[in-house]
């Protein structure tokens, strides 16, 4: 299995989950800052030109973060990273989708890749808007977080997703709401997360 990633990008969530389930894989770095995701060699692998991209052992390719996370979880049912309870499973999928399609797409990307949203002269305004949107997104997640250490009370793919979103907030020097901080600290103590941070140069 091979993971195409960029350090600190949302592909880190895939790395964390792969490490958590003990999946053997290799990783190939794609330099987003240099536009390598649009290079001919990478487009031959993933015509969408984005990470994460996962090449499975049979040679078939999976793209899209939420799809990859769910597939890994389904391959390792004993880990229960998608709950067996139908309602909890739906809630986990809902939150993963919200983190990807709303918070990541319109908040963290504004903060860390402002050039995608406008001219360099507007950089500070774009980043400020991203910080505002990120704060709102975290507040919403905080209200729905259960009383325990994990979003639905036990570790799921949603917690790895929320951890990555919260990590972006910490890097951006934003305060985390109480429940999000609790989850961030709990998930951050997992050996798989600590390993992933080292592997991507964050520790």
Q: CATH number of the domain that 18 lies in?
A: 3.40.30.10
Reported as half-sphere exposure (CB side, CA atoms, 13 A), residue 37 has a value of 14
Per cent of the chain over pLDDT 70 is 100
Q: In the predicted model, what is the mean pLDDT of residues 193-202?
A: 97
Residue 56 lies in a domain: yes
Residue 61 has pLDDT above 90, yes or no: yes
Is there a single domain that holds both residue 91 and residue 70? no
Confidence of residue 183 (pLDDT cuts 50, 70, 90): very high
Residue 153 has pLDDT above 90, yes or no: yes
Name the β-bridge partners of 95.
Answer: none
Is there a single domain that holds both residue 111 and residue 185? yes
DSSP, res 2: E
Is there a single domain that holds both residue 103 and residue 121? yes
Residue 49 lies in a domain: yes
Is there a single domain that holds both residue 75 and residue 93? no
63/51 Cα distance (integer angstroms): 8
Residue 130 lies in a domain: yes
| pLDDT tens figures, 9-58 | 999 999 999 999 999 999 999 999 899 999 999 999 999 999 999 999 99
Domain boundary among the residues 79, 97, 121 is at: 79
Is there a single domain that holds both residue 148 and residue 182? yes
Mean pLDDT estimate for the chain: 97
DSSP, res 63: E
Residue 201 lies in a domain: no
Residue 199 lies in a domain: no
Domain boundary among the residues 79, 103, 131 is at: 79
The total number of structural domains in the chain stands at 2
Q: CATH number of the domain that 164 lies in?
A: 1.20.1050.10
| pLDDT tens figures, 87-133 | 999 999 999 999 999 999 999 999 999 998 999 889 999 999 999 99
Residue 148, domain extent: 86-189
Predicted pLDDT of residue 20: 99
Predicted pLDDT of residue 121: 86
Residue 200 lies in a domain: no
Is there a single domain that holds both residue 73 and residue 115? no
Q: By the 8 A CB rule, do 92 and 157 touch?
A: yes
- Residue for token pair 């103590």: 189
Query: What counts of helices (H) and strands (E) characterise the chain?
Result: 9, 4
Is there a single domain that holds both residue 110 and residue 127? yes
Residue 203 has pLDDT above 80, yes or no: no
Residue 195 lies in a domain: no
- Residue for token pair 């809902």: 94
Residue 119 lies in a domain: yes
Is there a single domain that holds both residue 118 and residue 140? yes
Please report, to the nearest 10 degrees, the dihedral formed by the alpha carbons of residues 74, 198, 179, 81 taken in order.
10
């Amino acid at each position: 299995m091979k993971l195409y990633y960029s350090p600190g990008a949302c592909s880190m969530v895939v790395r964390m989950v792969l490490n958590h389930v003990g999946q053997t894989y290799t990783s190939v770095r794609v330099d987003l800052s240099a536009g390598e995701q649009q290079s001919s060699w990478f487009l031959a692998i993933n015509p969408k030109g984005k990470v994460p991209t996962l090449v499975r052992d049979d040679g078939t390719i999976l793209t899209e973060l939420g799809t990859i996370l769910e597939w890994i979880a389904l391959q390792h049912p004993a880990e229960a990273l998608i709950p067996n309870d139908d309602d909890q499973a739906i809630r986990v999928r809902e939150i993963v989708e919200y983190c990807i399609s709303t918070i990541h797409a319109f908040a963290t990307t504004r903060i860390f890749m402002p050039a995608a949203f406008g001219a360099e002269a507007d950089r500070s305004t774009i980043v400020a808007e991203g910080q505002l949107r990120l704060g709102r997104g975290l507040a919403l997640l905080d209200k729905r977080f259960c009383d325990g250490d994990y979003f639905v009370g036990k570790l799921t793919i949603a917690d790895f997703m929320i951890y990555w979103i919260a990590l972006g907030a910490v890097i951006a020097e934003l305060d985390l709401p109480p429940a999000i901080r609790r989850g961030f600290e709990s998930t951050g103590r997992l050996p798989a997360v600590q390993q992933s941070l080292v592997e991507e140069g964050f520790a």
